[in-house]
Amino acid sequence: MKNQASPIFWLACLACASTALATQRLRHMVSTSDQDVSHTRQTQVDVISPHRSPSGSFSGNALDLLSVTSALMGLARNTTDNVTNKELVGSMQDLVDEMQAHIHASLVPEQEYLNRIYGYFADCTGTLAEQQAAAGLQNSTVDEARSAHKVCRSQQAEAYEEWASCKKQTALEAADCSGWPALKATKVLDAGAACLQTTPGETYEQFLNRIKLYWTQELSKYEAMKALCSNSAEDPCAPEKAKLDRKTAECTVAQNNFERSFCDQAKQGNRAWHNYQECYRIANETYTQASTASIKLLSSKRLDLGASHRIECLLKVFQNSHNAQTALEECKAMDHSDVMARLRLAIKEAPPPMLPPLPSSLPGQSGFQEEEYNNINSTEMMACQLPFAVLVR
């Protein structure tokens, strides 16, 4: 603010110099002072951001209206020129009206500034909604991955049943091969002993037919056991086991895809809430500082307004129709608190911050195992770590 002569100096000029010139200088001084206050505050409104708190005290820029009041009281006691008094009263009344208008108008940019800072809370909420909507777009990806994993695990269970059934059947067949080593090692002489067995009254033809049937049966038994047991070193269930292994590997990949998509979405939501809480913290600090400064400014403006009404009252002293001493006493006793109280700023309470719900279980946690893999197979889960710590309900 530019250096200016004190109001007392200019009011003294009203008593000893040209009234018109002195009044013009005083009007310019008061008007410029109040305009500087408004301009400075508007500049703060234009450049303020939620990342920087308002600065600057404007109480020192306000015109010292109490000095003006004191000077008028001195003039009222000492000035005797009726013509000068009449001109002074008219000029000062115009000046008082102008000052009061400036006092009221100077709070307009302050109110706009407060409203703009208060709007930062809504900006934080809007940004949170946008980021949550972006995270919500991942719902279909997570659902598809979850479904693919469940289908794969179901197919894995079927492959396992096929392999288990094969192994069971193989175990039964292995029990039937218990006599194969002995049969395979049978000596020809031992086998031929059957030919020496005869039946009383049996003809030779009957003997040949009996021996033929016996050896046919023995050959069939030998060939069947040989086919069943001679390849026991090979796993007869190898195809089923290979199918199960392929499906297990596929399901491991499907599980990893599901857990990764779930974790990515959780991180995106966590980041959205972190950004909101940081945004709210800055907005709340800025609004608190702005509110405190506005309250101080309002108090200063109310004092200025009360002083201007005191000046207006003192102008009666210069009117011939009033007793000067009586008018002075009335002005000293007059209470302008009601008028001052009507000068207001709408300073709202800061809205309470929103808080996210309790986070759901994440991959790598027992709760996730219970919620997602309760009735299906799963391999070792990946670990999901959220990047930010946020306040929750």
Cα end-to-end span (Å), the chain: 50
* 386, pLDDT greater than 60: yes
Taking phi first (over 0 means left), then psi (-120 to 50 degrees means alpha), and beta for anything else, what does residue 314 get?
alpha
* 325, pLDDT greater than 80: no
Q: Are 62 and 300 in contact (CB under 8 A)?
A: yes
Taking phi first (over 0 means left), then psi (-120 to 50 degrees means alpha), and beta for anything else, what does residue 249 get?
alpha
Domain spans of the chain, in order of start? 7-138+278-354
* 226, pLDDT greater than 60: yes
- 96-152 per-position pLDDT tens digit: 888 889 999 999 999 999 999 999 999 999 999 999 999 888 889 999 999 999 999
249 band by pLDDT with thresholds 50, 70 and 90: very high
Distance between CA atoms of residues 35 and 99, nearest Å: 10
What is the mean pLDDT of the segment spanning 62-73?
53
Q: What is the mean pLDDT of the chain?
A: 77
Q: Residue 57 is encoded by which pair of tokens?
A: 């005290």
Q: Are 300 and 59 in contact (CB under 8 A)?
A: yes
* 47, pLDDT greater than 70: no
Which pLDDT does position 329 carry in this prediction? 79
Q: Residue 50 is encoded by which pair of tokens?
A: 């939620």
* 58, pLDDT greater than 70: no
Give CA separation, 373 vs 156, 327, 368, 379, in Å.
14, 91, 8, 10
330 band by pLDDT with thresholds 50, 70 and 90: confident
What is the mean pLDDT of the segment spanning 339-357?
93
More confident residue, 206 or 46: 206
Distance between CA atoms of residues 160 and 240, nearest Å: 8
* 41, pLDDT greater than 60: no
* 51, pLDDT greater than 70: no
Amino acid letter for position 315: L
What is the mean pLDDT of the segment spanning 189-208?
76
Q: Are 14 and 87 in contact (CB under 8 A)?
A: no
Q: Are 290 and 44 in contact (CB under 8 A)?
A: no
Residue (of 358, 350, 316) closest to 334 by Cα position: 316
From the number of C-beta atoms within 10 Å of its C-beta (0-12, 13-18, 19+), residue 342 rates as exposed
Q: Whole-prediction pTM value?
A: 0.64
Range ranked top by mean pLDDT from 36-40, 48-52, 181-185, 247-251: 247-251
Residues 6+ apart with CB under 8 A from 159: 240, 243, 244, 247
- 4-19 per-position pLDDT tens digit: 443 433 443 443 333 4
β-bridge mates for residue 52, sequence order: 49
Which pLDDT does position 343 carry in this prediction? 93
Rounded to the nearest angstrom, the gap between the alpha carbon of residue 253 and the centroid of all alpha carbons in its chain is 32
- 301-320 per-position pLDDT tens digit: 998 898 888 888 877 666 65
Q: Are 384 and 266 in contact (CB under 8 A)?
A: yes
β-bridge mates for residue 49, sequence order: 52
